[in-house]
Amino acid sequence: MDFQGYGDLLILGAGMTLRLAVGAVALGLVLGLIGAALKLSRSRLARAIGNGYTDLFRGLPELLVVLILYYGAETLLRHVVNDLLGIDSYVEISPFLGGVIALGMIFGAYSSEVFRGAVLSIPKGHVEAAKAFGMTPFMTYRRIILPQVWRVALPGLGNLFLVTLKDTALVSVIGLDELMRAANTAGRSTRDYFTFLMAAAVLYLVLTLLSMAVIHVLERRASRGHLGAAGQ
Q: Is residue 231 part of a domain?
A: no
**What's the total number of domains in the chain?**
1
| Measured distance CA(96)–CA(101) in Å, rounded | 9
Inter-residue contact 58 to 109 (CB < 8 Å): yes
Helix (H) or strand (E) holding 179, with range, is helix 179-190
What mean pLDDT comes out for the span 193-222? 93
Note the pLDDT tens digit of each residue in 119-142: 888 888 887 888 888 888 778 877
Helix (H) or strand (E) holding 119, with range, is helix 95-120
Structural domain containing residue 195: 7-225
What mean pLDDT comes out for the span 39-54? 94
Q: Is residue 43 part of a domain?
A: yes
| Measured distance CA(54)–CA(3) in Å, rounded | 42
Q: Is residue 188 part of a domain?
A: yes
CA dist list (Å): 194 to 14, 83, 211: 18, 48, 26
CB neighbourhood size of 187 (10 A): 18
Q: Is residue 32 part of a domain?
A: yes
Q: Is residue 2 part of a domain?
A: no
Position 133 scores a pLDDT of: 83
Q: Is residue 232 part of a domain?
A: no
Q: Is residue 68 part of a domain?
A: yes
Closest C-alpha to 152, from 107, 112, 118:
118
Inter-residue contact 115 to 154 (CB < 8 Å): no
Q: Is residue 209 part of a domain?
A: yes
What pTM value is reported for the model? 0.87
> Which of 79-83, 143-147, 198-202 is the least confident region?
79-83
**What CATH number should be reported for the domain holding residue 161?**
1.10.3720.10
| Measured distance CA(86)–CA(77) in Å, rounded | 12
Helix (H) or strand (E) holding 228, with range, is helix 224-231
| Measured distance CA(208)–CA(196) in Å, rounded | 18
What mean pLDDT comes out for the span 102-107? 96
